[in-house]
Amino acid sequence: MLKPKTLILRTAGTNCDAETDAAFQLAGAETALIHIQNLISGKVNLNDYQILAIPGGFSYGDDISAGILLAVEMKHKLTDALNRFVADGKLIIGICNGFQVLVRTGLLPGINRSGSDTPEMMQQTTLAMNTSAKFECRWVDLETEKSTCVFTKGIKEQVYLPVAHAEGRFTAPPDVLEELESNKQVVFRYAKSEYPHNPNGSDVNIAGICDPTGRIFGLMPHPERFLMKWNHPRWTRLSETERTRSEEGDGLAIFKNAVNYVKSHGK
């Protein structure tokens, strides 16, 4: 089968696009880095692609709050294209700033309240300032939840990934949190609740969530920064045999899952 086509969305301030591109290519996708101007102008059609990735960075400088300007732009200028993309059962992943964007568009968690076929695009949760009140870059232990998420199917129960953000504290009203649990939309949790294990103070240690279908996924940690085992901050502590075994990092599986899903569903 042909390689699944992945659109990696860029705009002013996007800065994790190159490594997200590398991740999808290593996973076996065909990729294109596309500036949102080209989607808005119609030069590029979103629906020619099977996967949409919104990488990390500081879109439009994170002015007002993280991800909001890009979210507004997507919501109001790409409404039809996005609705069709989602309705066709295609995949969306937002990493860090991309997760912030998805939350602010309402595509995540995307709990359907109106019974309508198209996404409601209503913001139901938020990613607030870290409780430490500063930008922090560190590696965190994650627990993989049993969720509907197609990106994390069959991956390890414990995953180690880096975070690097100032606005990553996932928070939501109690009823939304309850629904997330009952719909199996919580994908990753920080392994422990105390700082710095939960690096931002997220509610119930949530690090990543998906929509009810499991096809839209957002997370604060950066799987695209752990594609090679030597990205692990303690790889030099591994034994000689472990050091020379596989070269793959924990993060790659997420991108491979996306590629395999598209291949097997022929989307």
Partner 1 sequence: MSSTVKEIEILNADNTELMRISREGTLSLNLNEMQTIQSHFDGLGRNPTDVEIETIAQTWSEHCVHKTFKSMILYSEEGKEPEKIDGLFPTFIQRATEDIAKPWCVSVFSDNAGIIEFDDTYNLVFKVETHNHPSAIEPYGGAGTGIGGVIRDSLGTGLGAKPILNTDVFCFGMPDTPYAQLPKGTLHPKRVFNGVVAGVRDYGNRMGIPTANGAILFDPRYTANPLVFCGNVGLIPRDRCEKSVEPGDLVVSIGGQTGRDGIHGATFSSAELDDTSENLGSVVQIGNPIMEKKIVDALLQARDRNLYRSITDCGAGGFSSAVGEMGEHVGAEVHLERVSLKYEGLAPWEIWLSEAQERMVIAVPPENLDELIEVCQAELVEATVLGTFTDTHRLQVFYEGVVVADLEMEFLHNGLPQPVKEAVWHPPQHPEMASRDKAVQDYTDDLCQLLASPNIASKESVIRQYDHAVQGGIVINPLVGVENDGPSDACVVTPVIGSRKGVIVANGINPKYSDVDPYSSAAAAIDEALRNIIAVGGTLEKTALLDNFCWGNPDKSDRLGELVRAARACYDIATAYGTPFISGKDSLYNEYRDTTTGEQRAIPATLLISAICVMSDIQRAVTMDVKAPGNYIYVVGNTYAELGGSHYFGIHGFIGNNAPIVRPDKGKLTMEKLSTAISNGLVRSCHDCSEGGIGVAAAEMAFSGGYGMSLNLDNIPTGDKSTADDILLFSESNSRFLVEIEPQHQQAYESHMADVPIGNLGTVTDTPNFIVNGTAGRRIVETSIDTLKSAWQSPLQS
Catalytic positions: 96, 222, 224
Binding site for partner 1 (CB under 8 A): 10, 12-16, 18-19, 22-23, 26, 35, 37-38, 56-58, 60-61, 134-139, 162, 164, 222, 224-225, 227-228, 230-231, 233-234, 236-237, 240, 243-244
Q: Residue 191 or residue 228: which is nearer to partner 1 going by CB?
A: 228
Q: Which two tokens stand for residue 242?
A: 């472990």
Answer for the pair 30, 255: CB distance below 8 angstroms, yes or no: no
Q: Which two tokens stand for residue 145?
A: 């939840």
Least distance from C-beta 87 to partner 1, angstroms? 29
Give Cα separations from 201 to 33, 42, 196 (angstroms).
Answer: 33, 40, 9
Distance from C-alpha of 254 to C-alpha of 27, rounded to nearest angstrom:
9
Distance from C-alpha of 159 to C-alpha of 136, rounded to nearest angstrom:
19
Least distance from C-beta 162 to partner 1, angstroms? 5
Q: Residue 19 or residue 145: which is nearer to partner 1 going by CB?
A: 19
Q: Which run of H or E residues covers position 210?
A: strand 206-210
Residues 6+ apart with CB under 8 A from 53: 6, 7, 8, 9, 20, 24, 92, 93, 94, 95, 98
Q: Residue 67 or residue 214: which is nearer to partner 1 going by CB?
A: 67
Least distance from C-beta 167 to partner 1, angstroms? 12
Q: Residue 146 or residue 245: which is nearer to partner 1 going by CB?
A: 245
Least distance from C-beta 170 to partner 1, angstroms? 20
